[in-house]
Amino acid sequence: MSAAFGIGAAVRRVEDARFLRGAGRFVDDIAAAARDAAHLVVLRSPHAAARILAIRAEAARAAPGVLLVLTPGEIGELGVLRCVTPRHRRDGSPIAQTPWRMLAHGQVRYVGDAVAAVVAETREAAQDAAERIVVEYDPLPCVTDAAEAVRPGAPAVWPDIAPDNESFVFRLGDFAAVEAAFARAAHIARLDFRITRVSANPMEPRNALATHDPAEDRYTLVAGTQLPHVMRNEIALHALGVPTSRLRVVSPDVGGGFGMKESPFQEYVLALHAAKRLGRPVRWTATRTESFLSDTHARDNVSTAELALDADGTFLALRVRTLCNLGAYLAWQGPVSSTNNVGGLAGVYRTPHICTEVRGILTHTQPTAPYRGAGRPEAIYAIERVIDLAADEMGLDRIELRRRNLIPREAMPFRTGLDYTYDTGDFARNMEMALKAADWAGFPARREEARRRGRLRGIGLANAIESAGGPHRNPMEEAAEIRFDSGGSVTLLMGSHNHGQGHETVFRQIAASRLGVAPERIRVVCGDTDLVTHGRGTIGSRSMMAAGGALVGAAEKIIARGRRIAAHLLEADEADIEFAEGAFRVAGTDRAIGIEELARLSYVPGALPPGEELGLSALLVTRPGDATFPNGCHVCEVEVDPETGETALLSYVVVDDVGTVINPLLLKGQIHGGIAQGFGQVFGECIRYAPGSGQLLTASFLDYAMPRADALCALTVLSNPVPTATNPLGVKGAGEAGTVGALPALLGAVVDALRPLGVRHLDLPATPERVWAAIRGAPVTLEQWRTA
C-alpha cells in the first residue's frame, strides 16, 4: 500500500469522481422502484395557532389524478414523533412529551404544521387537489419569541402540559460557589445577547421514496438521513407500530445534513403509510419554501453571561442564564443543543467556578433541533464575547487577558469549572500561532490606513473548544465490519454515514494503512439497514473517533485471525507470525503470504485447520473511551463601510487541534465549510416571524440571506495536533470546529471595527442595516472619528 494513500496523506475525495460527473445517487435518482411512483403533497397550516373546526376534503378526492387523501381522523393507527432527550420540569418531574402526530389533531401550533396530505399521479395534481381542501380554523393568539413566551399572560402553546410555556429547566454547576466568587469580585462584566434562529438549508432538500412489499408486509424508506438505523427504529416502533425487521431504511448519497437530517419527520411516515394503502411507491420532495416551513430550525437563544474577575483580571466565576426556544413540539433531540454542550462555557480558561441555567421554552414556531455545532458555538460565543467586554471595561488588552487565564498544557488532564475534563490540548500555542499567522502586531497600522480611506477596520479573536463525539463520559457505540470476499477484495460496512465529509476516502485510508490492501480493492458501504448490521450514524463530529476506532478494532480482529490461518498455511507457530505491509511472515525468514491471498484461501475447503470457520471477516460494535475536545484559535479581520454598514471579510486564520489528522485536505474542507456557516449566521441568516400573526417572513432565499462565495476571503487553516488517547486513532472531532469558533471571532471583529465610535456590542446578525444603525446611534460621531 502506497504511503501516498495512508493516514495523514492529502488524498482527494474518491467520491468526487461520480459527483462531478453527475453520477451521484441521491434519493431523486433512485428510479428502479419509482417508475410507478405516486406523489405526496402536504397541506400546511397558514396559522401559527388555531383550532381546527372542520376539514372538508370531498373536492380534493374528486380531483383528477388523486389516489388518496389523508386527514387526521383517517390515520389514527399511526403513532407520534417523540423526544428522546430526558429532561425535567422545575418541580423535578420528567419533561412532558408534546404529541407530535403525523397530521395535527384538533389544533395547529405553528405556520407550516401538517394538516392533511394528498397522493396523486403527479406532484402538480396533488398540489392542485391539496388546494381544494377546505379547512375551517378558529385562530388563537400566538407567541413566537422565547422572551415574550415567559411573560405573564403570554399565549400558552400547550395549556394542559406547560401553561407557562416552560418545558424544562436544566441547571449545572456549583451555584453557591459562583455566588461567593461574584461577591468578592473586583469587576463583573455582563453581556445580554441573542443567538438567532437559523435554517440548515442543505443543497439537497429533504425527500423520500416509500415502498411496501405486501408479500412480507415490509416497508422500505429511501431518504437522505444521517442516522439510518436510528431512523428505522424510531419510525418502526413509535410511528408505524411494527417490528424493526419490517422496515428497511436506505440513505444513499446525501446532499448535506448539518444535523437537521438526523431526525424522523412526518412526511416519511405519511409516505410509508400511503405506499401500503395504495400498493405502489410514493415520493415526496420538499420545495425550498416547504423546507423553510417543515425542516427543524436551530439555535434561537436569549442569554445573559456574567464574568467575575479580580483586580488583576483573573477569572473568578462565570454564570450564564439562557432561554432556549424549542418551538411548538419537542423534536427528536430538541433539548440537546441547549443543554448537552453547556460544559463548553468553560472555554479554554481556568475559571474555577461556573454555573448555568437553561430554560426550554415552547413557542408557536417550528421545532428546533441540533445544527452544526449543536450548542457549542453558542457556548463559545458567550465566554469569548464576555471576555472581550471585560477587557474593554477594565482597560486591559484582550489578548493579555486571555493569556493570564489560559489552561496550560502541563495542567492536562484538567477538570474545568463546569462538567468537562480536558485530556489534551495546547491552547497557548494555538493562540500564539494564530496571532503570528494573522500578523496581529501589524493590525494597528492596517487600521490607521483604513481610517485614512474612510473605512472602519476591526480584528476579532476567539479561542474555541468543544466536546465532540459525546455525550461526555458516555459516548455512543459505533459499528464497523470488514469482509474479505473469495477473490481477496475488501468491503467495509460502516455504521457511520457520509453526507459530504468524505468518509469513503478516509475509511479507505484507514483500512489501507492497517491492512495493507490497495485502496482500489476496498469498497465502502453505508446507509442501508439491511446490509449494515448496526450504526449510530453521523452526528456530533463523531465519525473518525467512533467509526474510525471501530474500524481499527475490526482490522485488529482480522489480523489476529489471519495470524492463525497464516500459521497453518506457512507451517509455523502462531507466535512466530508477524504482519506488516499487507503480508503475514514467519519471523526471521522469507516465508510469507499476502493478506489477499490468505483471504482467498480462507474460502477453500481443506485449506484451513479442522474446525476453523471459512472466510475472513470481522464485525466490531464498540465505543470510544470518552468524548474528545477539539480546540483552536480563530483570528479574522473585517472592514466596514460607515456610509452603508456593509462589512467585508478581509482575512481569516484558524489554528486547529483535531488530534491525529487522517486527511489534511479533507480536514481543511470541513473547517472551511464550518466557517462559512458561521459567517452566514453572523452576517445575514436569520429566521424571522411576524409579531402577532406568527407568519414566517423568511420563507425563501429572497428573504433568508445565505452567504455567497464572493463574500468570503481565502481561509488559512493551520494545524497544531495533540493526539488524544481516548480512541485508537488519536483523533478529535473536526466537522463542527469551524462553526464553533466563527461566530464569536467574526462578530468580535465587527464590534472591534465599531469600537472607535463607542460601540461595545452588536447582536446577530450584523447586517448592513443593523451596522449602519449602530454607527448612526454611536456615542462618537463619524465626523469626530474622522478628525481624531
**375 CB neighbour count, 10 Å cutoff:** 30
Q: CA angle 570-576-581, nearest 5°? A: 75
Residue located via cell numbers 483573573? 314
For the stretch 619-674, pLDDT in tens is: 999 988 888 999 999 999 999 999 999 999 999 999 999 999 999 999 999 999 99
Given the DSSP bridges, would you call strands 297-309 and 218-223 parallel, antiparallel or unpaired? unpaired
Q: Which domains does the chain have, with CATH numbers?
A: 3-22+477-622 (3.30.365.10), 31-140+205-294 (3.90.1170.50), 141-195+299-418 (3.30.365.10), 423-475+625-788 (3.30.365.10)
> How far apart are the C-alpha atoms of 534 and 401, rounded to whole Å?
48
- pLDDT score at 2: 55
Q: Find cell 406523489 and name the residue.
A: 39
Residue 347 burial by CB count (10 A; 0-12/13-18/19+): exposed, middle or buried?
buried
CA distance 480 to 312: 52
496 three-state secondary structure: coil
In 3-state terms the chain splits into helix, strand, coil percentages (rounded to 5) of 30, 25, 40
Listing DSSP states for 519-585 in one string gives: GGGEEEE-SBTTTSS----S-TT-IIIIIIHHHHHHHHHHHHHHHHHHHHHTTS-GGGEEEETTEEE
Q: Taking the CA atoms of the chain, what radius of gyration do you get in angstroms? A: 28
Residues 6+ apart with CB under 8 A from 431: 399, 402, 403, 406, 461, 463, 633, 655
Strands 100-101 and 80-81: antiparallel
Residues listed for the chain: 788
DSSP string, 285-344: E--HHHHHHHS-EEEEEEEEEEEEE-TT--EEEEEEEEEEEEESS--TTTTHHHHTTGGG
Distance CA 474, CA 736 (A): 20
pLDDT beneath 50: ranges in the chain: 1
| The one-letter amino acid at 296 | T
Return the pLDDT at 766: 97
Determine if residue 482 is left, alpha or beta; phi over 0 gives left, psi from -120 to 50 gives alpha, anything else beta: beta
Residue in 270, 645, 675 with CA at minimum distance from that of residue 464? 675
Distance CA 323, CA 335 (A): 12
Burial of 281 (0-12, 13-18, 19+ CB in 10 A): buried
Q: Please state, in angstroms and rounded to a whole number, the distance separating the CA atoms of residues 148 and 157.
A: 12
Q: Can you tell me the distance from the alpha carbon of 317 to that of 357, in angstroms, rounded to the nearest whole number?
A: 15
Strand, coil or helix: 668: helix
Whole-angstrom distance, CA of residue 543 vs CA of residue 479: 11
Full 3-state SS string of 614-653: CCEEEEEEECCCCCECCEEEEEEEEEECCCCCCEEEEEEE
Q: How far is CA 347 from CA 58, 95, 170, 628, 719, in A?
A: 59, 29, 20, 14, 19
Which amino acid, residue 84? Answer: V
Which pLDDT score, from 0 to 100, does residue 33 have?
52
The confidence score (pLDDT) of residue 541 equals: 86
Cell numbers standing for residue 636: 479574522
- C-beta of residue 463 within 8 angstroms of C-beta of residue 402: yes
Query: If you search the block for the grid coordinates 408557536, which residue do you land on?
Result: 364
Residues 182-201: tens digit of each pLDDT:
999 999 999 999 999 999 99
Q: Cell 455545532 maps to which residue? A: 373
Burial track 168-198 (b if 16+ CB lie within 10 A, e otherwise) = bbbebbbeebbeebbeebeeebebebbbbbb
Q: 636 - beta bridge partners? A: 460, 652
Cα–Cα distances in angstroms (integers) from residue 163 to residues 98, 150, 539, in the given order = 13, 10, 33
Give which of 334, 360, 362, 328 is closest to 107, Cα–Cα. 328
**Cell digits of residue 488:** 481477496
Cα 244-491-509 angle, rounded to 5 deg: 115
Contact 319, 376 (CB under 8 A): no
Evaluate whether 144 touches 364 at the Cβ level (below 8 Å).
yes
Beta pairing partners, 728: none
* b/e per residue 703-720 (b: at least 16 CB within 10 A): ebbebeeebeeebebbbb
CA 464 to chain centre: 16
Say if CB 661 and CB 509 are below 8 A apart: no
CA-angle at 125, arms to 123 and 131, nearest 5°: 105
Query: Residue 463's beta-bridge partner residues?
Result: 633
In terms of DSSP H, where are the helices of 332-442?
A: 336-339, 376-394, 398-405, 427-437
With contact defined as beta carbons under 8 Å apart, do 475 and 623 qualify?
A: yes
